[in-house]
Structure 1
């Protein structure tokens, strides 16, 4: 099942970004260091592509440091882009953002030309926590759920540095299937948009391939190579006491446990994708999307042809 989530306020956010971007000097996009490719919003790239960009891999303390290094190299190789990784709640690294913004827009600064920065990203990626850290007080509302911020806020980080915070925004249609599952696992989409068991099974596929030891240690499992994902989810549930009457495993509860353990880093520091993997998924998604659009266009063309072949009925003759 494809995972999609685009509440009404996200349409308003898109319009707000379109209006605001004209007067912005630097765009900060917060990414989830555990899924940097999947948490990079292609809609934001379209709206802000001509502006200098700072890619911030947030929650680095939860991510695999070796894979984080790969993603930093990937983004820093792009023109007009700088990237760094941090934990949004740590003061010193967060303040490095200010210096990075000045490096990207060296002609801005001072009271006559204050720096104007737009900060954006997917829901629940940590923008509000970062803003509060930069400001040194609770300037933005935070919460462990998607979609806490609902309206744009302007926050003065310094006398000559203004930060415009936008609500977390996804994009209208996710064409990379893996991204949908990774976003759901991270908590970036609303609970009504996905099935816990389905997301957990996809998560187990990734963990078994790249982090089998994390599963074995956390759930005290033996060799898991021969287990299907469904069997592995049952094993997780049995080890963690997610049992129903009669001793059967409550797989939905087991799924919730697994997802929670991933989000809290109880499984260890994990990154679900590499730049190379995501590039491959994206190419496949774009191909499928192009095929879908071509099929849709062909069906519409056939419909128009049929309409032209069907003679319109003559208008009724008025009774004399």
Structure 2
């Protein structure tokens, strides 16, 4: 990890991720279509740039997961952007199952050409084979569990828990190849690193929480001050200094040590967990669409 107060860079690429990346390259030839799972709150920042190189010419369906935590209007704009790039895209919520039927339909459509080629060669029709790719903690295992209807695949809140290769039969018409979550070796853009840290794609133990939350509180104050005011019973306008704002929130939430001193670390964790859990409302942090060619 590289860290500086002015230019935050977070690089987290454990050995199992490098191994998983090699495995993906080896097994992508076994599938008909690739499902790329991204976080609907950060559709661009959570898209691994290595994936396009790994899958080469395979059809790809982009699934914007955790859509319930993202702003609906922005999710729709991102879906249109992906479609303008020639990609199938759909918003889903793997926890409730919303959008999963549409996802399966688009996966089957994406694989139709490959299946037709097999039939033309005299091969008996078989189930569509799809590979799920995505960064850590974006909800791959939760999606598979939802498709299966039971908690068959091991999940955890910490990024990077899924290991190895797993073929999962969803139905007679669809088989999924699950893969571990993989980041890219070096995250060059500090703003991308910040968004990945905020949403939980990067292990909380490898970055400076104080630095991340100072930047995040600045973002929230600038774009969502009314949300903060409502949630934490604060008077507008909010303090411009992020540390002052943090202490104010900590005081309101009772994060006090002996002598009435605010426990800032506890306050940081409360705000971050409430954001991730949707208690602060719906957020889309990627708010700059790429230029259309």
Determine which structure has the larger helix proportion and give its number.
Answer: 1
Q: Distance in 2 between matches of 1:245 and 1:224?
A: 29
The Cα shift of 1:113 comes to: 3.9
Q: Distance in 1 between matches of 2:66 and 2:216?
A: 18
Secondary structure of 2:229's counterpart equals helix
Q: What is the aligned partner in structure 2 of residue 48 from structure 1?
A: 55
Secondary structure of 1:107's counterpart equals helix
TM (normalized to structure 1)? 0.82
RMSD of the TM alignment (CA)? 1.7
Q: Distance in 2 between matches of 1:12 and 1:211?
A: 40
The Cα shift of 1:189 comes to: 1.2
Q: What is the aligned partner in structure 1 of residue 150 from structure 2?
A: 137
Residues 90 and 99, structure 2, Cα contact 8 Å, conserved in 1: no
TM (normalized to structure 2)? 0.89
Ranges of 4+ aligned residues in structure 1 off by more than 6 Å: none
Q: Distance in 2 between matches of 1:180 and 1:164?
A: 28
* 1:222-276 alpha-carbon deviations (Å, 9 max, x no partner): 1235521121111111111112222222211111111011101111111112133
Q: Which runs of 5+ in 1 are unaligned?
A: 281-320
Do residues 98 (structure 1) and 111 (structure 2) align?
A: no
Q: What is the aligned partner in structure 2 of residue 176 from structure 1?
A: 189
* 1:141-164 alpha-carbon deviations (Å, 9 max, x no partner): 111111110111101112232110
Q: Which runs of 5+ in 2 are unaligned?
A: 4-8
Q: Distance in 1 between matches of 2:234 and 2:56?
A: 47
Residues 70 and 275, structure 1, Cα contact 8 Å, conserved in 2: no
Q: What is the aligned partner in structure 1 of residue 64 from structure 2?
A: 57
Q: Distance in 1 between matches of 2:153 and 2:163?
A: 11
What aligned pairs does 1:233-244 form with structure 2 within 5 A after superposition?
233-244=246-257
The Cα shift of 1:31 comes to: 0.7
Q: Distance in 2 between matches of 1:89 and 1:226?
A: 36
The structure that has the greater radius of gyration is 1
Q: What is the aligned partner in structure 2 of residue 207 from structure 1?
A: 220
The Cα shift of 1:92 comes to: 5.4
Q: Distance in 1 between matches of 2:218 and 2:44?
A: 18
Q: What is the aligned partner in structure 1 of residue 75 from structure 2?
A: 68
Q: What is the aligned partner in structure 1 of residue 16 from structure 2?
A: 9
Do residues 228 (structure 1) and 235 (structure 2) align?
A: no
Residues 74 and 275, structure 1, Cα contact 8 Å, conserved in 2: no
Q: Distance in 1 between matches of 2:237 and 2:154?
A: 42
Q: What is the aligned partner in structure 2 of residue 197 from structure 1?
A: 210
Q: Distance in 2 between matches of 1:251 and 1:70?
A: 37
Q: Distance in 2 between matches of 1:73 and 1:229?
A: 35
Residues 5 and 189, structure 1, Cα contact 8 Å, conserved in 2: yes
Q: Distance in 2 between matches of 1:60 and 1:30?
A: 11
Q: Distance in 1 between matches of 2:39 and 2:185?
A: 19
